[in-house]
Amino acid sequence: MSLRRPAKNQPENFEFNNSSLDAANKIVSKYPKGKQQSAVMALLYIAQRQNGNWIPLAAMKYIAKFLDMPYIKVYEVATFYTMYNLSPVGKHFIQVCTTTPCMIRGASKLVEACKEKISENECELSNDKSCSWMEVECLGACVNAPMMQINDEYYEDLDKEKTLKILDQILKGETPQAGSYRGRINNEPENNRKTLMDYKNA
Amino acid sequence: MLKLKVNDIDVEVEEGLTVLQACEKAGVEIPRFCYHEKLSIAGNCRMCLVEMEKSPKPIASCAMPAAEGMNIKTNTEFVEKARKGVMEFLLANHPLDCPVCDQGGECDLQDQSMYYGVDKSRFKENKRLVPEKNMGPLIKTQMTRCIHCTRCVRFATEIAGVPELGAIGRGEDMQITTYLEESMQSELSANVVDLCPVGALTSKPYVFEARPWELKKTETIDVMDAVGSNIRVDTYDWEVKRVLPIINEDINEEWISDKTRYACDGLLHQRLDTPFIKYNKKFEKASWAEVYKIIKSKIENTTKEKICGFVGDLTNMETSYIFKEFFERTLDIKNYESRTDNRFINILNREDYIFNSSLNGIEETDLIFLVGSNPRYEATILNARIRKSHLNNNTKIYSLNENGDLTYPYQSFDGQTQTLKNIFNGQHELSKHILNSKKPMIILGESFLRLNNAEFLYIKMKEFLSQNNKLSEDWNPLNILSCDASSVGNFDLGFINKEKNILNDLKSNKFEIVYLVGQDNLDFNKKDEFVIYQGSHGDKGAEIADIILPGAAYTEQDAHYTNLEGKIQKAYKASYPPGESKEDWQIINEIAEFMNNRKLFNDKEELESSMFNYLNLQKEKQNKEYLNEFSGEFKNEKLTIDIKPYYFSNIIARCSKTMIECNNSKLNLKSTGTEG
């Protein structure tokens, strides 16, 4: 991990659209008057959502003005948290977990697959500009390691072949099925469940 | 009061103080980097760890509030080990470049690692490297040396009021920077150089100039504005290398403005070092005897009513006093003036031209009303006090004019004098606030005093305030904010002409001899006048002169200045005048001797004691009743705040390359339009 810098090509302007504005106002209203600056993290996330999964400088300025706080304070927050993307990512944004449990279960094979199918380096757009990938810290699905996240979906219990297949589907524009790729429901034990037998979808 | 023990010494401290302060009270020194008395507490350097009874871990004394019955130990093996550990971490990524670091010799990290550190490191990995940052023309950065104490960030946010510095990234990648590496937009920015405990932020104009132990240090007074900040001038031989603040809680606390700090390189350029005479529009070098002879014959061949004299914005009191004596005793005429405009001034009552509430009073007040003044540029240190007052006491601030960014929020009105009249007639919303306020403060700038109706409005204000019991013996809410270091001193010395308007006479070319002492700001078209210019730098005044007498700058003579509060302070000689130039009082004394074969004063002590006698006499002669009624008519006018360009406000600053760079850096920023 190294210091992430804002992208070189920055859009001139940024403004919340109506739905973002509603969401932002709703969050700001949760805080007492004068303490609206506490909403900065949520607003950065809303901006990231609206702007194709990354935050341009213009959005940071916009949020700073929106919350009446100095630019540098928003900039500090945005550079601190790794889940805020400061440069453009693909429409399909793939995050491969490489923290210890996933690493032990072969996360490096998933990284290899990404390098083959998408781009040689992290945070680089694929040839058709639709995909990018990066290594991330623990995504909290250690039971189903190794795993990766594509946009909002988790893909679990992977190996290299399965990953290649998923990536192929994505590059073709299809939506692969999310969840465990060894047929598990959620994170039930490998050798059939021992408890909660009455519930089908527990 | 809380009772606690530090190293078995009993101490009593007030509630709300920290363990570190309690230790200091017990006379125990605690090493620290991030803690600073004037800034908020961060507690992130961990250098101040001490042992507390019943606590299994060492505590950060700067962030721990002192409590009843605490037993603190600072001299145990446990504490020593903790300090060594912290030091090792701090030095893990700190480069070993002390020999080429400007902080060397006055570096907190260097000193403290000598006392509390270990002589070797177990850190075998690569050290991190951080690229340099652009922080403007005054601050040189070497961010690899940074230990992330965040003193600079807190200073910029809290004291300077320009939240432009911040820490981006995290962990090992944390970096201190300005927003997108733009230069800091503050007139107090260079104080971060003093605050930085390591060599990460150093002074750009002073880079590789000298080592601290080579410099001669002289504690003296600043003259860049009327606040009279206490400074230390560091000289190497003749050259003034740098200017640093010294602590004076009543005036500048610990800060000085960028102009005070960096205009000193103007003392090296464009200096007048020998007398000059103008022949056929060309200056030629001359000797002192020659110029004295010419001056003598000129003065003797002119009727005395046709001679006038002016002193400038940096002139010290000794010079003004002897110049006045020269006019009164040698020439027997009172054609002297220290003002450069027809401003209203009531010299009979000292309260009518000083900053009555005092600088410390700013922290007691609950309402400040700025009239015709922009303190950010006219008195930067005073503005920092207003900001402090606003932050600590939530002081309400109003301004008659829209003043731009003053680093604190304020409410502005339309800038018409009619509004001002209404306020002090009790017919305005602000009137109520002033009446409800316990200790209101009205700050009148020089732009206000230049109004045609200044006298009328001033009397109106005084009337309103005394009728409503706001003006008392211990609180005078009316404050005049002078801009020049010499103003109040000159008024104390009575250096203005009450009978006639010398300035108008000068503009209509009624004089034959004009004697300027450090006065470069006169706006008049020279015709046939014979101009004598006495000063330290070749600028506007020297340009029009027929004779130039080289004088000394403020760092080159012992002299007194009175600051805007009316506090008289002595400036000490740090260097000596260059070439053949002499101290200003000496030149005038010698001219007097040349003319009458008699010196005005035998030596400087005699001059000084005579001046203080005069000042004491003047104090007794105060006439508080003079300003009571005003017969003139009131006419509405627009008050425009007319301030000198901050970086070029006086002759030394105009000759300084650093000030030109500062000015350019602000201009560039404006033209790119990226400021927001």
pLDDT at B674: 44
**pLDDT higher than threshold 60 for residue A36:** yes
Q: Over the stretch A171-190, which tens digit does the pLDDT of each residue have?
A: 998 899 999 998 888 888 87
Taking CB atoms and an 8 Å cutoff, what residues of chain B touch A80? 168-170
**Is A73's CB within 8 Å of B166's CB?**
yes
Tokens encoding A145: 């390691």
pLDDT at B368: 95
**What share of chain B has pLDDT > 90, as a percent?**
80
- As a whole number, mean pLDDT of residues B226-245 equals 95
pLDDT at B669: 56
pLDDT at B642: 86
**What share of chain A has pLDDT > 90, as a percent?**
74
Per-residue pLDDT band at B676 (split at 50, 70, 90): very low
As a whole number of angstroms, the distance between CA B434 and CA B367 comes to 7
For B322, the 3-state DSSP assignment is helix
Q: Over the stretch B514-558, which tens digit does the pLDDT of each residue have?
A: 999 999 988 888 888 999 999 999 988 999 999 999 999 999 999
For residue B307, count other CB atoms closer than 10 A to its CB. Answer: 21
Helix (H) or strand (E) holding B108: helix B108-116
Tokens encoding B289: 């005897």
A3 and chain B: CB distance < 8 Å anywhere?
A: yes
- As a whole number, mean pLDDT of residues B268-276 equals 94
pLDDT at B300: 92
A7 and chain B: CB distance < 8 Å anywhere?
A: no
- Print the SS3 string covering B259-302: HHHHHHHHHCCCECCCCEEEECCEEEECCHHHHHHHHHHHHHCC
| Chain A interface disruption, residue of B129, B168, B180, most A CBs within 10 A | B168
B407 and chain A: CB distance < 8 Å anywhere?
A: no
**Is A71's CB within 8 Å of B178's CB?**
no
A189 and chain B: CB distance < 8 Å anywhere?
A: no
- As a whole number, mean pLDDT of residues B33-48 equals 94
**Is A72's CB within 8 Å of B173's CB?**
no
Taking CB atoms and an 8 Å cutoff, what residues of chain B touch A75? 166, 168, 179-180
**pLDDT higher than threshold 60 for residue A1:** no
A162 and chain B: CB distance < 8 Å anywhere?
A: no
pLDDT at B672: 44
**pLDDT higher than threshold 90 for residue B627:** no
Per-residue pLDDT band at B675 (split at 50, 70, 90): very low
Per-residue pLDDT band at B184 (split at 50, 70, 90): confident
Angle at alpha carbon of residue B125, lines to B124 and B129, rounded to 5°: 130
Amino acid identity for residue B29 in this structure: E
Per-residue pLDDT band at A10 (split at 50, 70, 90): very high
A182 and chain B: CB distance < 8 Å anywhere?
A: no
Per-residue pLDDT band at B422 (split at 50, 70, 90): very high
Q: Over the stretch A77-93, which tens digit does the pLDDT of each residue have?
A: 999 998 999 999 999 99
Which are the contacts of B541, defined by CB distance < 8 A and separation ≥ 6? B312, B516, B518, B519, B520, B522, B533, B535
The 10 Å CB-count burial string (b at 16+, else e) for B348-369 is bebbbbbbbbbbebbeebbbbb
As a whole number of angstroms, the distance between CA B334 and CA B413 comes to 42
Residue in chain A lying closest to B163 (CA): A70
As a whole number of angstroms, the distance between CA A134 and CA B274 comes to 72
**pLDDT higher than threshold 50 for residue B673:** no
pLDDT at A25: 96
User: Of B214 and A129, which is predicted with more confidence?
Assistant: B214
Q: Over the stretch B456-498, which tens digit does the pLDDT of each residue have?
A: 899 889 989 989 999 888 899 999 999 999 999 999 999 998 8
Per-residue pLDDT band at B622 (split at 50, 70, 90): confident
Question: Dihedral, CA atoms, B79, B81, B84, B89, nearest 10 degrees?
Answer: -100
Mean pLDDT of chain B: 92
User: From the CA of B144, how many Å to the nearest CA of chain A?
Assistant: 14
As a whole number of angstroms, the distance between CA B329 and CA B588 comes to 12
**Is A76's CB within 8 Å of B179's CB?**
no
